[in-house]
């Protein structure tokens, strides 16, 4: 009896020494109110987060329900980021507060420090009645993009780890995430990324008999052409040798043109319905690909994580198509890739710089204002970028020319790039509203829309058996495996010289330099990886030089690439071969499919806007 009592005392003592703890991922909040889920940087920081994107007006609070492990006093930490810190030291604008069980914690969050960190928010006492019916609420104070990644409550005052590796293990332990992801099933083709290229690849393959999984990391489809980013389609369909390529885009491409226009211009529902009609496509929205499983030099499976609930799925297939834009799947699989500009003499490209560098085209945070019908105040906003009457942009909207990050890494530094885009929009608008001497035209206007999903032009380019270069395009050097025609100019972006005068090294405006080309057939060998045996790619991440990317990157052209990839995948399934084998042994069968097309027949061309300028006279064929 005495032994049992001592043992019981020991257990109680150990129990009391063990801290109760609870971790809540902010993106999993049940009612997100006016906060938005931002997944763009989770590859680097390990998680999506919630952001109060109110364009200067506080957003509706986010609320969720929790169960506490036990009653007691909890110390509360919030993982957050003072996002203007790279440009101005001190208190930032992304301020918010946390409520626990309706109790307001004392600390203002999101406006201190200089990097993502665990900020102490205060302490709260939870009684026994509250343990199974607890609530958390995020109260935005400014509308200026306060961000919350996670909330940690523990009965021991100790901040969670900050290093990426330790934080990953910490999350996995407290969230009780399984070591092995659930199976999403077996497919003939897994397409990652449902922009125009990925949608086209999935539909093309599905109509030709492949069972396709289409994975996309947002709840809406279309990528840069979605209502979240609002870039209109560019390039021509019904061009080149295979005029049936591009017909798919008549089915789901928006009928109206324009960048930075109201959401309905981009017809998100039409895109979703186009995928839903295809019985061979299983669509997985809000899943971001985060890993791959390899079998030698072939991908065995892609691992994807839901951006809100954290659920992980494994997608297995003999074939994969990287339509992520960033070449994410190829990178994870060890595919050869390039990033930045090649030296002029490497491919004899007259437009290339003399020396190779890491410069890319930038990303755009587009925006527009609307007439409010009465005075619409905007809070003063001055966080490290100074505007005056001489250097401000006296405009009521900003589209593709508002471009940032050309001198930064579009993968590693992407949050910085996007945030600078937000910073200059707010800073410029604040000057127009509050300090511009002749600001009468702006007094009744308010920011109606500012993108928080940045529109990216260039990052990784995955290398195939052929690298398309400037000489191919300008001298019209034809290859036997030519596929979809690129019809856009060689359109390369550079910092706007006038913007450089006012903001040297911190430009946010761009210019474009155009070199017209005759409609040019992109070699099939640019559409599969040269060292990952079962990987296709379609979109701006195909096998081209930086200069050649200037023409192939527009979305009608990337959509036609996707169609070709879907066709090639169907032949791979039919003949039990890999992508390279189509070029070596079944090229004529691919040509027959491209001639016939997979789109609905006799649809009128509703895509005759923003087609670009192509040469009308074919260069001498070499």
Confirm if 299 and 328 have CB atoms less than 8 A apart: no
Beta bridge partners of residue 139, listed in sequence order: 97
Structure tokens belonging to residue 389 = 């009457």
**DSSP secondary structure, 216-269, as one string:** -SSSS-BGGGSTTT-----S-SS-SS-TTTTTHHHHHS-SS--SS--GGGG-HH
* The pLDDT of residue 261: 98
Res. 15: pLDDT tops 60: no
Residue 340 burial class via C-beta count within 10 angstroms: exposed 0-12, middle 13-18, buried 19 and up? middle
Q: Write down the pLDDT at residue 618.
A: 81
Q: How confident is the model at residue 6 (pLDDT cuts 50, 70, 90)?
A: very low
Residue 82 in this model has a pLDDT that exceeds 90: yes
Cβ atoms 318, 577 nearer than 8 A: no
φ, ψ dihedrals at 610, nearest 5°: 50, 45
- Mean pLDDT, range 303-313, rounded to an integer: 97
pLDDT tens digit sequence for 406-417: 999 999 999 999
For the chain, list the domains and their CATH numbers.
19-174 (2.60.120.260), 182-355+457-596 (3.50.50.60), 363-455 (no CATH)
- What integer is the mean pLDDT of 335-359? 98
pLDDT of residue 617: 79
Q: How confident is the model at residue 621 (pLDDT cuts 50, 70, 90)?
A: low
- Residue 8's contacts (CB-CB under 8 Å, 6 or more residues apart) are none
| CB atoms near residue 114 (< 10 Å) | 13
Residue with tokens 């201190």: 112
Give the tokens for residue 283. 């669509």
Q: Quick one: pLDDT band at residue 622, thresholds 50, 70, 90?
A: low
pLDDT of residue 5: 31
Q: How large is the average pLDDT for residues 236-246?
A: 95
Secondary structure of residue 439 in the 3-state scheme: coil
Residue 7 has pLDDT above 90, yes or no: no
Distance CA 379, CA 486 (A): 46
CB 51, CB 36: distance < 8 Å: yes
The span from the CA of 293 to the CA of 286, in Å, is: 21
Q: What's the CA gap between 48 and 27, in Å, rounded?
A: 7
For residue range 548-566, list pLDDT tens digits in order: 999 999 999 999 999 999 9
pLDDT value at 390 more than 60: yes
How big is the CA angle at 483 (ends 470 and 278), to the nearest 5 degrees? 130
CA distance 273 to 250: 13
Q: Cα–Cα distances in Å, from 117 out to 142, 416, 518, 603?
A: 20, 16, 52, 54
Mean pLDDT score, 56-65: 98
89-104 confidence digits (pLDDT tens):
999 999 999 999 999 9
Which residues are 23's β-sheet partners?
A: 152
Confidence band of 435 (pLDDT split at 50, 70, 90): very high
Whose CA is closest to 117, among 72, 163, 154?
Answer: 163
Among 417, 385, 380, CA closest to 87: 385
CA-based torsion, 430, 434, 438, 443: positive or negative: positive
Q: Report helix, strand and coil shares of the chain as percent, to nearest 5.
A: 25, 25, 50
User: With 80 as the cut, is the pLDDT of residue 487 above it?
Assistant: yes
- Measure CA 227 to chain center: 13
Joined together, the tokens standing for residue 138 give 């995020």
d(CA 74, CA 101) in angstroms, rounded, equals: 12
How far apart are the C-alpha atoms of 254 and 264, rounded to whole Å?
Answer: 9
**What is the percent of the chain where pLDDT is above 90?**
93
- 3 has pLDDT over 70: no
DSSP 453-464: S-EE----EE--
DSSP string, 82-116: -TTTTT--S--S--EEEEETTEEPSPPBSSSSSSS
Rounded average pLDDT over 287-304: 98
């Amino acid at each position: 009896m005495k032994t049992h009592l001592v043992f019981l005392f020991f257990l109680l003592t150990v129990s009391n020494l063990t801290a109760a703890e609870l971790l809540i991922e902010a993106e999993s909040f049940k009612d997100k109110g006016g906060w938005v889920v931002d997944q763009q940087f989770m590859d680097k920081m390990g998680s999506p987060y919630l952001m109060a994107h109110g364009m200067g007006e506080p957003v509706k609070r986010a609320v969720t329900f929790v169960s506490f492990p036990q009653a007691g006093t909890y110390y509360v930490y919030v993982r957050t980021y003072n996002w203007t810190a790279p440009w101005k030291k001190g208190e930032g604008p992304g301020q918010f507060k946390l409520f626990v069980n309706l109790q307001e914690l004392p600390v203002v969050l999101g406006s201190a420090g200089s990097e993502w960190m665990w900020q102490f928010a205060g302490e709260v006492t939870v009684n026994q009645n509250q343990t199974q019916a607890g609530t958390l609420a995020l109260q935005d104070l400014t509308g200026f993009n306060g961000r919350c990644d996670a909330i940690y409550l523990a009965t021991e005052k100790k901040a969670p780890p900050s290093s990426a590796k330790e934080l990953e293990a910490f999350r996995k332990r407290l969230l009780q995430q399984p070591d092995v992801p659930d199976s999403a099933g077996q497919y003939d083709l897994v397409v990652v990324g449902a922009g125009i290229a990925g949608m086209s690849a999935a539909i093309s393959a599905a109509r030709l008999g492949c069972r396709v999984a289409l994975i996309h990391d947002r709840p809406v489809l279309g990528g840069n052409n979605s209502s979240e980013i609002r870039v209109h389609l560019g390039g021509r369909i019904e061009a080149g040798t295979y005029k049936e390529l591009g017909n798919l885009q008549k089915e789901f491409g928006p009928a109206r043109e324009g960048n930075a226009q109201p959401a309905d211009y981009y017809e998100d529902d039409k895109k979703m319905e186009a995928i839903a009609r295809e019985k061979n496509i299983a669509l997985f929205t809000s899943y971001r690909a985060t890993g791959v499983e390899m079998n030698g030099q072939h991908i065995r499976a892609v691992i994807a994580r839901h951006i809100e609930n954290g659920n992980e799925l494994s997608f297995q297939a003999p074939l994969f198509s990287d339509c992520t834009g960033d070449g994410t799947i190829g990178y994870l699989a060890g595919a050869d890739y390039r990033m930045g500009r090649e030296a002029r003499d490497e491919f004899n490209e007259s437009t290339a710089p003399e020396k190779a560098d890491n410069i890319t085209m930038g990303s755009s945070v587009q925006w527009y204002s609307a007439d409010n019908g009465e005075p619409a105040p905007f809070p003063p906003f001055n966080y490290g970028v100074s505007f005056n009457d001489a250097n401000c942009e006296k405009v009521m909207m900003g589209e593709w020319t508002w471009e940032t990050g050309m001198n930064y890494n579009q993968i590693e530094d992407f949050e910085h790039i996007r945030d600078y885009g937000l910073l200059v929009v707010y800073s410029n608008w604040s000057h127009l509203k509050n300090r511009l001497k002749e600001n009468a035209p702006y007094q009744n206007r308010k920011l109606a829309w500012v993108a928080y999903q940045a529109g990216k032009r260039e990052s990784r380019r995955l290398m195939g058996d052929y690298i398309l270069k400037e000489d191919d395009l300008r001298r019209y050097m034809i290859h036997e495996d030519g596929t979809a025609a690129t019809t856009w100019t060689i359109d390369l972006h550079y910092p706007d010289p006038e913007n450089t005068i006012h903001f040297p090294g911190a430009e946010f405006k761009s210019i474009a330099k155009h070199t017209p080309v005759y409609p040019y057939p992109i070699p099939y060998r640019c559409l599969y990886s040269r060292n990952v045996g079962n990987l296709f790619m379609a979109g701006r991440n195909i096998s081209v030089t930086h200069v050649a990317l200037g023409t192939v990157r527009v979305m009608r052209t990337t959509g036609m690439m996707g169609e070709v990839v879907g066709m090639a995948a169907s032949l791979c399934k039919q003949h039990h071969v890999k992508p390279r084998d189509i070029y070596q042994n079944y090229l004529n069968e691919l040509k027959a499919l491209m001639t016939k097309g997979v789109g609905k027949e006799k649809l009128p061309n509703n895509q005759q806007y923003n087609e670009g300028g192509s040469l009308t006279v074919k260069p001498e064929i070499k």
